[in-house]
Amino acid sequence: MGKRDDLIEKYKKQMTEKLSLKVDDALLLGVTKACGPSIYNADASSVAASDPKELERVKQSFLIKKCGLKDSPKLDEGIAAVIATYGKSTRPKYRAVFYYLLAKQFRKGSLFR
């Protein structure tokens, strides 16, 4: 297995064991690929959910640019819902999993399959 496959297994484990979610493997693979090389960087591979600048980056880079959504308060509400799903105490909040949850939240999974 390659490094990306190992990371995907780690993400799946967190999603099933800690978050009690069923994983759509095709969507997780697509979102992980869309994250690009950031998944290999220790700092960039996770989302700092308590940092407003980081959440703005998530909104601009992922939701608006990659998902094609219009900037609105609904985007902030969706990010807050994902943080609630993930749980404030869950560390780390992997970027690929965070984006996966956002893609499902906004029904944009087809963009990544």
pLDDT at 77 over 80: yes
Domain that holds residue 80: 3-112
Whole-number pLDDT of residue 88: 80
pLDDT, mean over the chain:
93
80 has pLDDT over 70: yes
Structurally, the chain folds into a number of domains equal to 1
The CATH number of whichever domain residue 55 belongs to comes to 1.10.238.120
- Averaged pLDDT for residues 76-101: 92
Distance of alpha carbon 65 from alpha carbon 60, whole angstroms: 6
pLDDT of residue 1: 65
| CA distances for 68 relative to 58, 71, 78, 103, 108, angstroms | 13, 9, 15, 11, 9
**pLDDT more than 90, % of the chain:** 86
Give per-residue pLDDT as tens, 58-68. 999 999 999 99
Q: Give dist(CA 87, CA 18) in Å, integer.
A: 10
d(CA 80, CA 57): 14
Q: What is the mean pLDDT of residues 104-112?
A: 94
Q: 15: pLDDT confidence band, cut at 50, 70 and 90? A: very high
